Structure 1
Amino acid sequence: MPKPYLAPLSCAALLCLASLTAHAAGERYHVALDGTFAPHAMPTMSGGIEGFNVDLINAIGERLGAEIDITAAQFSGLIPGLQAGTYDFLAAPTTITPELSENLLFTEGYLDTDYQFVVKKGAAAITRLEDLEGRTIAVNKGSSYDAWAREHAGEYGWRVESYGSNSDAVQAVTSNRAFANLAGNTVAAYAVKRNPMVELSLLVPTGRVWAFPFRKGDEELRARIERVVECLKIDGTIAELAQKWFDAEPEPGSAAVTAQPGYGQPGYAGFVEDDHPFSCDVQA
């Protein structure tokens, strides 16, 4: 069973960060992510990159006292680059699936990844999928949300229209070309945060999480990074980043605030049972 959310660490507990930093001082990691997946990673006006995952990976580097080199690349090339040794691990939001876990090592999840609908502000309430019968659903072309909406179109009686970006799909809602946009819960929250004409609607839980992937055989590095992820859960850092980028506080028991026992995500290949304590001391 997942352990309950712990309150932010006391000042005394935060002193453990000193030993964590000393352990990894001088280390350097090369990571990669998709630089166009807002609000997790996106270009800045100055030519840099920002977003939830950028902040998260930089926080990991800070806690380790390690240098983090971030490369923005197309998502389709990230896993091949990891397997080829170009990257030490991936900082992109990557959904753990049974298939991927057979070929990659994953940390425990740091965010839940669910489906969520966005509707025009003031639209009729949607409390179940059947309420969308006869409606048009706008999705990002080629995304997993596009595939899921089309797979279930016959079951729930909705129509699906695909757009070149999720921003275009949201625009279809505001211009009344579609009733709802379907996207990931964090992307949906960010769209609502930026556009006062839309609001969040029905959430469809998937039971899946986003985690950091590593090459098979890099169990030691995976464990080192996972211990920092656990630290950032129990001291409230990930919750603060969720509030900053998604304008939403994580639910108690969610992946953002719940440290998992062992290394990896329970229920998937690569998970290692272990009773290490949850701490901001990487050597604990």
Structure 2
Amino acid sequence: MTITVRLAALGLAACLAGPAVAQDSYKTAIDGTFAPHAMPKLGGGIEGFNVDLTDELANRLGAEIDLTATQWSGLLPALQAGTYDFIVAPTTITKERAANLLFSEGYLNTDYLFITKKGAPEITDLKQFEGKTIAVNKGSVYDSWARGLEDEIGWTVESYGTNSDAVQAVLSGRAFANVAGNTASAWAVKKNPNLANSYLYKTGLVWGMPFRKGDEELRNKIEAALECMKADGFIAGLHEKWFGFAPAEDSAAVVVQPGYGEPGFEGYQDIEHELSCS
């Protein structure tokens, strides 16, 4: 019932296939630089929402989980090659990915969250950003999304080399708001008392854990543990710890889906089952 964290050497070697591991021992991986899901900590190792989630998975499965921190770009190819049994890094479930991978049900929503300086006017509709300057991380999905709405909303989009620079633009008054992923934005607010959460744009998408096609037995076993974490409030507790607020009652962090997998996507199994949580 342990989690071993490894900082992997980066490169193509990470994608080489390896032999299957024992039933009570699993290999998984994460992007170790995606705060607050996984990030370096003082004294070595990594910490974050998904690190805690992996640790609890090991406890509930009564298994050893070897967690490797490496680059995001190599995670899914390495999973397909057999290097890992599943991936704990936040992975958006899409129809394209579900055609090639098997997914657990979602455990977090992946939305867009605007943040402003504390005390800024409340925003309840995108159109209220008309005439405002929005700071984004250059080249990100939030950059292209915001620029695609410039004419419709009437806001001005300014791009910065990093999202940290975009957040600093808000603090300095060069921009009214910054938009990024909901968890990264919430983490920025949690760390800076001069910032505040603002408008939440819901994408309808969720993060799940990917497995190889045909590995329904392992997917269902790990999903059963995830469902118990939702039911007893463990994931909600992690949400408050790392993001600074409780998840909504209808969010993926709370709602246990029927069957196995995310409904509406390839790989979903409509199998009725009861929770068996110890």
Is the shorter-chain TM-score for this pair beyond 0.5, marking a shared fold?
yes
Structure 1 residue aligned with 2:124, among 124, 127, 145? Answer: 127
Structure-1 residue corresponding to 2:200? 203
C-alpha change, 1:144 and 1:279, in structure 2 (3 Å) is: farther
- What residue identity is the alignment partner of 1:217? G
**Cα distance per residue 1:85-120 (max 9 Å; x no partner):** 111111111111111111111000001111110001
Report the count of equivalent residues: 257
The percent of aligned pairs where both chains have the same amino acid is 63
In 2, are the aligned partners of 1:242 and 1:250 still within 8 Å (CA)?
yes
Choose the corresponding residue for 2:159, options 157, 162, 166.
162
My pick for the range that moved more, 99-108 or 72-81, is 72-81
Segment drifting more, 126-135 vs 36-45? 126-135
Determine whether 1:112 maps to 2:76: no
- Contact 1:26 1:65 (8 Å CA) reproduced: no
- Cα distance in 2 for residues equivalent to 1:214 and 1:161: 38
- State the AA in 1 paired with 2:258: P
Tell me how far apart the structure 2 counterparts of residues 147 and 54 of structure 1 sit (CA, whole Å).
30
1:258 aligned residue = 255
Structure 2: distance between partners of 1:59 and 1:77 = 25
In the alignment, is residue 174 of structure 1 matched against residue 133 of structure 2?
Answer: no
Contact kept, 8 Å, 1:140 with 1:165, in 2: the verdict is yes
Cα displacement string for residues 179-211 of structure 1 (whole angstroms, at most 9, x for unaligned residues)? 110011111111111001110111111111111
C-alpha distance in structure 1 between counterparts of 2:204 and 2:23, whole Å: 38
Counterpart for residue 14 of structure 2: none
| Partner SS, residue 99 of structure 2 | helix
SS in 2 for 1:90: coil
Find the aligned partners of 1:88 and 1:140 in 2 and give their Cα distance.
32
| Cα deviation, residue 235, structure 1 | 1.2
Residue type of the alignment partner of 1:269: E
Q: CA deviation at 1:40?
A: 0.6
Cα distance, 1:164 vs. partner?
Answer: 2.8
Residue by residue over 1:114-151, the C-alpha shift from the partner in whole angstroms, topping out at 9 and shown as x without a partner, is 11100011112222111112222111223221221122
More contact order relative to length (CA 8 Å, sep ≥ 6): 1
| 1:247 CA displacement | 1.2
Amino acid at match of 1:63: R
- Letter matched to residue 58 of structure 1: D
Letter aligned with residue 250 of structure 1: P
CA distance in 2, matches of 1:32, 1:143: 23
User: Match for 1:32: what amino acid?
Assistant: A
Counterpart CA distance in 2 for 1:146 and 1:189 is 18
Change (3 A) 1:32 1:142: farther
Q: Is the 8 A contact 1:139 1:162 kept in 2?
A: yes
Out of 146, 150, 166, the position equivalent to 2:147 is: 150
Q: What is the alpha-carbon distance in structure 2 between the residues aligned to residue 132 and residue 253 of structure 1?
A: 27
Alpha-carbon shift at residue 163 of structure 1 (Å): 2.2
Query: Is structure 2 residue 219 aligned with structure 1 residue 222?
Result: yes
- Structure 1: 4+ residue segments shifted above 6 A: none
Q: Structure 2: which 5+ runs fail to align?
A: 1-21
CA shift in 2, pair 1:80/1:26, >3 Å: closer
Aligned position for 2:275: 278
Deviation for aligned residue 1:75: 1.2
**Distance in structure 1 (CA, Å) of the matches to 2:272 and 2:23:** 28
1:33 equivalent to 2:27? Answer no
| CA-CA distance at 1:26 after TM superposition | 6.7
Structure 1 CA distance for aligned equivalents of residues 23 and 264 of structure 2: 35
2-side partners of 1:163 and 1:279: how far apart? 48
Q: Quick check: 1:191 aligned with 2:188?
A: yes
| Larger CA deviation: 270-279 vs 142-151 | 142-151
Q: Partner letter of residue 165 of structure 1? A: T
Question: Is 1:84 paired with 2:90?
Answer: no
* TM-score, structure 1 normalization: 0.87
Distance (whole Å) between structure 1 residues aligned to residue 91 and residue 198 of structure 2: 24
From 220, 223, 231, the counterpart of 2:228: 231
Aligned to 1:60: 57
SS of the equivalent of 1:162 reads strand
Q: Read off the aligned partner of 1:178 and give its amino acid letter.
A: A
